[in-house]
């Protein structure tokens, strides 16, 4: 049974770049690893609708916190069997965003914290009702809001089709979201969390050593 590792963080924090580095280190060590990013824009109709709503499509859908969260959740529900198969086939399955993204962004949109009703609702929907696979570890890539915003602007300038969407352009949302993420990590919400400093150079060797220590721990859930 492989390990399920999740990377979480603000828009533009550098999650995709961190995933690249972790995968390179895992492969250097001879481990088989695969990755997925949520939302699965190119694969799932719910994710496609999310992308459109984040850019003003579908009337008032984007303004509905619970409506958007259900779409993100259904995308993951549709991926659950593939995730389980990937965990059977690989040492590590690396996810760029997972259930905690729904908890952090939705709570931040509603001005709630990690102990509020929205985070409990996400847990009831995605963990209890949908039964999604539990991560072995969640990594919070922590960067100041201004750094994440600057990186998102840099990506907008340097990559095609990466214009910032309504969440990415909302500095207040990003700041509150950073606070909820910090609370989720401090509470080890759903599974153990590690905070990775996204401004300093990442020591990929030490990080993968940590993930290896999870591999040796008994698997729960
Ligand atoms: N440690 C770093 N130092 C400087 N720039 C970085 C660093 N990590 C990533 N970047 C740059 O910041 C931009 C955003 O990085 P990346 O796409 O990895 O973020 P992300 O968290 O996956 O974003 P999103 O969630 O919005 O898709 C990219 O242009 C990337 O090259
Ligand atoms: C998976 C997921 C994402 N979100 C939010 C986070 C981002 O602002 C957007 C799109 O994600 P991307 O990484 O920029 O492509 O959606 C969310 O609120 N809930 C989720 O489950």
Q: Is the CB of 39 under 6 A from ligand 2?
A: yes
Query: How would you label 62-74 residue by residue, b for 16+ Cβ within 10 Å and e otherwise?
Result: beebeebbbbbbb
Q: Is residue 214 part of a domain?
A: no
Domain holding 190: CATH number? 3.40.50.300
What does the pLDDT read at residue 52?
Answer: 97
pLDDT surpasses 90 at 217? no
pLDDT in tens, 134-147: 999 999 999 999 99
What does the pLDDT read at residue 221?
Answer: 45
SS3 state at 115: coil
Q: Which domain holds residue 35?
A: 3-208
Q: Which two tokens stand for residue 163?
A: 């214009």
> From the CB of residue 199, how many other CB atoms can be counted at a distance below 10 Å?
11
Q: Is residue 213 part of a domain?
A: no
Q: Is residue 117 part of a domain?
A: yes
Residue nearest to atom 6 of ligand 1 (CA): 14
What does the pLDDT read at residue 213?
Answer: 87
| Closest ligand 1 atom, residue 202 Cα | 1
pTM: 0.96
Confidence of residue 214 (pLDDT cuts 50, 70, 90): confident
Q: Is residue 62 part of a domain?
A: yes
SS3 state at 92: strand
pLDDT in tens, 39-76: 999 999 999 999 999 999 999 999 999 999 999 999 99
């Amino acid at each position: 049974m492989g390990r399920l590792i999740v990377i979480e963080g603000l828009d533009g924090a550098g999650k995709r770049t961190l995933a690249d580095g972790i995968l390179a280190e895992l492969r250097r060590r001879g481990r088989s690893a695969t990755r997925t990013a949520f939302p699965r824009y190119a694969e799932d109709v719910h994710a496609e609708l999310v992308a459109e709503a984040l850019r003003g499509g579908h009337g008032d859908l984007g303004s509905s916190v619970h409506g958007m969260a259900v779409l993100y959740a259904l995308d993951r529900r549709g991926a659950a069997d593939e995730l389980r198969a990937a965990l059977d086939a690989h040492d590590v399955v690396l996810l760029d965003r997972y259930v905690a993204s729904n908890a952090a962004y939705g709570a931040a949109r509603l001005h709630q914290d990690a102990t509020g009703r929205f985070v409990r609702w996400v847990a009831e929907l995605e963990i209890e009702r949908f039964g999604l696979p539990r991560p072995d570890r969640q990594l919070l890539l922590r960067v100041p809001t201004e750094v994440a915003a600057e990186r998102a602007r840099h990506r907008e300038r340097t990559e095609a089709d990466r214009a910032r969407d309504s969440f990415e352009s909302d500095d207040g949302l990003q700041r509150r979201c950073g606070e909820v993420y910090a609370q989720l990590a401090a509470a080890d919400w759903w599974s153990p969390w590690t905070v990775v400093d996204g401004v300093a150079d990442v020591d990929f060797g030490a990080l993968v050593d940590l993930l290896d220590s999870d591999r040796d721990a008994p698997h729960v859930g």
